[in-house]
């Protein structure tokens, strides 16, 4: 009888411990390499949405500007669980799953509004968020960030101006190979290392959105941005799957619902932030130029061919690319 009483006591204590754990506040560290841009704004809006739903059941901590490490280290942090979440351009996840490269494809999105419609398609959004799930990093958000520009100390006003320049790219073959095709040398590099490299002359320029260039005051290192808009920067918010699955159902549902809601309102927010960044660039002595229409058309044609070849080389990547093309065509 005594042993039965002991067992019952232990079971009761275990139940109390489990109940306490279920009701305990969880912490969600959310990291970004950027600050005062579209990604940072997504995190702040998400924090407010989740807070309104679950109160103090989840504590969200935002760490922008690479406070938790370089981009590769933050990706690794989510994979291992030392960081709960990281928002980043999909380009930087290609090393984890090559299917993320499809979002860098040239010529798929005809406008920012078109991209928002494609990414907001319920079935496609579900598919896109699941790309990293098999590696333990599903996503809770995916959204348009900015258009891709080129900043260079030697201004790029013609396609010939690319030749011989060392241009920082994201870690994606859909940026590396197009730069090489234009006669430049692509140099993949985390954002935290780019400005010192530009200032020292280790690189001549970089691919980035105008929001990054203005927020990090790149106008002090180089003045001319070429608005190539060769592709769009699409960002996604990955989370550690084990951590997410271990949350109380109410908190997990709040996270997923908040991600969808913030995604749905990001186009106008992103457009506003990008326009403000362009104005900020101009106000600080920066210059914005475009390629001549004929050269722009030639560049887009060549880079689309390069991208299609890369994305069709592996069956699993091609399947994602074909699905993206199909959904994109539906919303044209």
Is the pLDDT at 5 greater than 80? The verdict is no
Is the pLDDT at 2 greater than 80? The verdict is no
Mean pLDDT value across the chain: 93
In b/e form, how buried is each residue of 171-201, taking b as 16+ CB within 10 angstroms? Answer: bbbbbbbbbbbbebbbbbbbbbbbbebbeee
Examine the domain organization and report whether 252 and 297 are in the same domain: no
Examine the domain organization and report whether 70 and 119 are in the same domain: yes
At 4 the pLDDT is 36
Question: Could you tell me the residue range of the domain that residue 199 belongs to?
Answer: 149-231+277-330
Give me the residues paired with residue 139 across strands: 238
Examine the domain organization and report whether 140 and 258 are in the same domain: yes
At 315 the pLDDT is 98
Distance (Å, whole) CA 108 – CA 268:
20
Residue 5 inside a domain? The answer is no
Examine the domain organization and report whether 65 and 165 are in the same domain: no
Examine the domain organization and report whether 50 and 120 are in the same domain: yes
Question: Long-range contacts made by residues 268-276, C-beta under 8 angstroms, separation at least 24?
Answer: 269/38, 269/41, 269/45, 270/38, 270/112, 270/143, 270/144, 270/145, 270/146, 271/112, 273/37, 273/38, 273/41, 273/211, 274/38, 274/146, 274/147, 274/209, 274/210, 274/211
> Do the bridges between strand 287-289 and strand 224-226 make them parallel or antiparallel, or are there none, so unpaired?
parallel
CATH number at residue 268: 3.40.190.170
Examine the domain organization and report whether 32 and 140 are in the same domain: yes
How does pLDDT run across 197-248, given as a tens digit for each residue? 999 999 999 999 999 999 999 999 999 999 999 999 999 999 999 999 999 9
Mean pLDDT along residues 292-300: 97
Please, which pLDDT band fits residue 24 given cuts at 50, 70 and 90?
Answer: confident
Q: Collect all residues with Cβ–Cβ distance below 8 Å to 214 and sequence separation of at least 6.
A: 277, 278, 280, 281, 284, 286
Number of domains comprising the chain: 2
Examine the domain organization and report whether 324 and 281 are in the same domain: yes
Residue 208 inside a domain? The answer is yes
Examine the domain organization and report whether 300 and 224 are in the same domain: yes
Examine the domain organization and report whether 134 and 168 are in the same domain: no
Residue 106 inside a domain? The answer is no
At 16 the pLDDT is 32
Examine the domain organization and report whether 29 and 81 are in the same domain: yes
Residue 9 inside a domain? The answer is no
Residue 251 inside a domain? The answer is yes
Q: Sign of dihedral through CA atoms 300, 145, 258, 265?
A: negative
Least confident among 16-20, 27-31, 39-43, 212-216: 16-20
Residue 112: which H helix or E strand, with range? helix 112-120
Please, which pLDDT band fits residue 18 given cuts at 50, 70 and 90?
Answer: very low
Examine the domain organization and report whether 199 and 268 are in the same domain: no
Residue 90 inside a domain? The answer is yes
How does pLDDT run across 54-77, given as a tens digit for each residue? 999 999 999 999 999 999 999 999
Distance (Å, whole) CA 234 – CA 236:
7
User: Percentage of the chain surpassing pLDDT 70?
Assistant: 93
At 23 the pLDDT is 54
At 8 the pLDDT is 37
Examine the domain organization and report whether 291 and 245 are in the same domain: no
| pTM of full prediction above 0.75 | yes
Mean pLDDT along residues 93-114: 96
At 270 the pLDDT is 98
Distance (Å, whole) CA 296 – CA 12:
71
Residue 105 inside a domain? The answer is no
Residue 18 inside a domain? The answer is no
Mean pLDDT along residues 142-155: 97
């Amino acid at each position: 009888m005594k042993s039965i009483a002991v067992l019952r006591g232990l079971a009761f204590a275990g139940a109390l411990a489990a109940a306490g754990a279920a009701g305990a506040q969880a912490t969600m560290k959310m990291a970004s390499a950027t600050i005062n841009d579209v990604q940072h704004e997504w995190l702040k809006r998400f924090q407010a949405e989740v807070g309104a739903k679950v109160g103090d059941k989840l504590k969200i901590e935002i760490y922008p500007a690479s406070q938790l490490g370089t981009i590769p280290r933050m990706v690794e942090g989510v994979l291992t669980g030392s960081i709960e979440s990281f928002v980043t351009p999909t380009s930087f996840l290609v090393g984890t799953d090559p299917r993320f490269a499809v979002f860098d494809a040239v010529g798929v999105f005809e406008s920012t509004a078109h991209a928002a419609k494609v990414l907001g398609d319920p079935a496609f959004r579900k598919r896109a968020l699941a790309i990293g799930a098999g590696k333990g990093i599903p996503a809770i958000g995916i959204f348009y960030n900015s258009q891709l520009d080129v900043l260079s100390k030697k201004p790029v006003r013609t396609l010939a101006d690319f030749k011989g320049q060392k241009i920082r790219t994201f870690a994606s073959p859909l940026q590396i190979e197009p730069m090489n095709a234009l006669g430049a040398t692509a140099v993949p590099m985390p954002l935290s290392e780019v400005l010192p490299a530009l200032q020292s002359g280790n690189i001549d320029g970089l691919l980035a959105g105008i929001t990054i260039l203005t927020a990090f005051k790149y106008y002090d290192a180089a003045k001319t941005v070429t608005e190539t808009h060769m592709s769009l920067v699409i960002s996604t918010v990955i989370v550690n799957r084990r951590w997410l699955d271990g949350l109380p159902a109410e908190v997990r549902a709040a996270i997923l619902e908040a991600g969808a809601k913030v995604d749905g309102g990001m186009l106008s927010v992103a457009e506003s932030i990008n326009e403000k960044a362009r104005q900020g660039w101009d106000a600080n002595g920066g210059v914005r130029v475009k390629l001549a229409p004929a050269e722009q058309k030639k560049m887009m044609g060549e880079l689309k061919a390069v991208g299609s070849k890369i994305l069709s080389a592996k069956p699993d990547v091609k399947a994602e690319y074909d699905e993206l093309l199909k959904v994109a065509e539906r919303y044209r």
